[in-house]
Amino acid sequence: MVVQIVSGLIVLVVAVLVLIPLIRYRITHHWLLITLFGIPIRWVSLKNIRYVTDHAKEFAESWPNTHSPKARILFIRKRRGLFRTLKITPLKRFVFKAELEKAIRALDPDASFDDTQFFDHKPADTTLKHRHAQ
């Protein structure tokens, strides 16, 4: 019985480690899609996105596609939903952010990203120095 449980856990861990790099992000006219093998497993309406940033303080629904996401993290803040922050790790995060904001503006020309913040560096102290997007 113990051998079956341990082998089941090993298979589960290996499956997760193999599947994580296969997650992809795609932007359509109305959706941000998170896909696995080309099949959407999570989608967010572009109208529901408030802003995109590279740092968040609150809990985020995590959808990484790498095992070392440190320099690739983007946080998408949604207007509504149970979990309002989504964490993704696109390869070129600021290019992806620009494409996402372009798609949102194509859908809603009056879209504003005034809440978007970029952090110059992670400070040693607990106060974060940031600047607002221009």
Instruction: Look at residue 123 in the predicted model and tell me its pLDDT.
Output: 47
In tens, the pLDDT along 30-59 reads: 999 999 999 999 999 999 999 898 888 889
Average pLDDT over residues 93-107: 91
Tell me the C-alpha distance between 9 and 2, whole Å.
11
Q: Are 69 and 89 in contact (CB under 8 A)?
A: yes
pLDDT in tens, 110-120: 877 765 555 55
Query: In the prediction, which pLDDT does 81 show?
Result: 87
Give the chain's end-to-end CA distance (angstroms, integer): 60
Q: Residue ranges of the domains in the chain?
A: 47-122
| Banded pLDDT at 85 (limits 50, 70, 90) | very high
- CA distances to 20, 47, 83, 90, 125 from 25, rounded to whole Å, are 12, 17, 18, 7, 34
